[in-house]
């Protein structure tokens, strides 16, 4: 199971990561609502642990965007120091599946994660599709027009991001941050990965899906 922790307090974030990893989860983390939304919409997670008060976008905004704009069904457990009934109702209305008041015991969070995951069952969308191109998020198998396509890890990361954002453009900077964080290599590296990805998903087929918007970024769509 893969979890996303969106928490701006570095000590709390580190404690959550350490504890959840000890319980066998794979954990990614973000320190702001903006970065958290980027990760949540470019990768596949089984559950999101979402703080309410965040820089960039609040937890309310992140949850609402995931539910309304991205049609995401990924379960969300919202963390907050606000315990008023109005705040809790706002959290649920924004898309939270559960609500945990700070301070809390890590054991309680783990128990709530297990309950929410069990309740979610198989409702989480595990396949992405753009035109006749599909990506199974569990098996990481890519096919186009029913034909399997072998794609290496870096190109698969780019493809997942582009498919989740389709038909919208993804900037070069966003792709580089997902591949290399704050220390990207020279610009030719991304160009090479895009070239390899295009050869894999477009070259054998009549209609291209991967389009370059010069000086801006890339988009994956049947129409441009």
Instruction: Kindly report the CATH class assigned to 2-120.
Output: alpha beta
pLDDT in the model for residue 122 = 47
Q: Are 9 and 49 in contact (CB under 8 A)?
A: no
pLDDT in the model for residue 92 = 83
Rounded average pLDDT over 22-27: 86
Rounded average pLDDT over 20-35: 91
Dist. CA 88–CA 99, nearest whole Å: 7
Q: Do the strands 133-136 and 127-130 form a parallel or antiparallel pair, or are they unpaired?
A: antiparallel
Dist. CA 100–CA 57, nearest whole Å: 19
Alpha-helical regions (H) of 26-152: 33-42, 59-68, 85-94, 106-120
- What is the CATH number that goes with domain 127-220? 1.10.10.10
**Token digits of residue 8:** 């701006």
pLDDT band at 77 (very low <50, low <70, confident <90, very high): very high
Rounded average pLDDT over 175-181: 82
Rounded average pLDDT over 73-90: 83
Average pLDDT, the chain: 88
Which residue, 169, 128, 168, is CA-closest to 151?
A: 128
**Token digits of residue 44:** 């596949």
Dist. CA 90–CA 137, nearest whole Å: 31
Distances (CA, A) of 17 to 2, 4, 42, 193, 220: 11, 9, 20, 30, 33
pLDDT in the model for residue 159 = 93
User: What is the domain partition of the chain in residue ranges?
Assistant: 2-120, 127-220
């Amino acid at each position: 199971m893969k979890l996303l922790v969106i928490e701006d307090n570095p000590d709390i974030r580190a404690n959550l990561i350490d504890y959840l990893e000890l319980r066998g989860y794979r954990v990614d983390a973000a320190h702001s609502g903006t970065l958290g939304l980027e990760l949540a919409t470019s990768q596949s997670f089984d559950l999101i642990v979402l703080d309410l008060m965040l820089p960039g976008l609040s937890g309310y905004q992140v949850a609402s965007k995931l539910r309304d704009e991205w049609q995401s069904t990924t379960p969300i457990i919202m963390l907050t120091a606000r315990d008023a009934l109005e705040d809790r109702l706002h959290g649920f209305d924004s898309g939270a599946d559960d609500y945990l008041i700070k301070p809390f015991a890590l054991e309680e969070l783990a128990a709530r994660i297990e309950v929410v995951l069990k309740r979610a069952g198989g409702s989480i969308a595990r396949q992405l599709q753009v035109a006749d191109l599909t990506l199974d998020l569990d098996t990481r198998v890519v096919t186009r027009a029913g034909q399997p396509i072998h794609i290496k890890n870096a190109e698969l990361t780019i493809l997942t991001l582009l498919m989740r954002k389709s038909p919208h453009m993804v900037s070069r900077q966003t792709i580089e941050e997902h591949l290399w964080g704050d220390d990207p290599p020279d610009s030719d590296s991304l160009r090479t990965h895009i070239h390899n990805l295009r050869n894999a998903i477009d070259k054998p087929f009549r209609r291209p899906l991967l389009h370059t918007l010069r000086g801006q970024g890339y988009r994956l769509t049947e129409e441009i």
